[in-house]
Amino acid sequence: MVGNDIVDLNEARHASNWQRARFLDKLFTELEQSYIRDAKNPFIMVWRLWSIKEASYKLHTQMYPARFYNPKGFECTLDKNSATAKFKNFQCHVQTRVTSAYVISEAHLDKKKLSSVIVKFKGPGQKAQSEELTTRLLKYAGGAYQLNKNTLGIPALSNGEEHRYVSLTHHGSYGAFAIS
């Protein structure tokens, strides 16, 4: 099982006013807000924490299929480029990579190296980007895999014999996929 999330930093700069107090209070615990306050670059820290929460949520929904919105419920504890995210009795390990263009996080139950494949989209438009990401995923997976989503929209690859968990993400000009 795997969850991932990517944040296009250029898109985040233009589309979000993260400095509003209510924004931070709504999404981040006191511990996480202290990480933001103490960070050399609070903007990067906000989006790193957000991507950790999203990746963790995606992993959680693979294990416990249900959709809900509770970003503050996923509390992150940071350690360099890794983190631990906890939600009630659920805990996972998250690896993060920060570049000048994006932040990518990937969640697993055990500590693993980041394996998400990054896609720089050829053009705009969410539908076209989603199709491009799916095409790249299927080419990467090889074989006769199909991408299926359950009734909650949770994606998986299958070829009739094998079922593989997958996580897809896209934001702005970037997308990524990870296969368990």
Domain boundaries, the chain: 3-112, 118-179
pLDDT at 143: 74
- C-alpha to C-alpha distance for 75 and 53, rounded to whole angstroms: 8
At 168, which helix (H) or strand (E)? Answer: strand 163-171
- C-alpha to C-alpha distance for 126 and 8, rounded to whole angstroms: 14
Tens of pLDDT, residue by residue over 38-66, are: 999 999 999 999 999 999 999 999 999 99
Residues 6+ apart with CB under 8 A from 20: none
Q: Are 87 and 56 in contact (CB under 8 A)?
A: yes
Q: Which fold is adopted by the domain 3-112?
A: Ribosomal Protein L22; Chain A (3.90.470)
pTM of the predicted model, to two decimals? 0.95
Tens of pLDDT, residue by residue over 11-44, are: 999 988 888 868 999 999 999 999 999 999 999 9
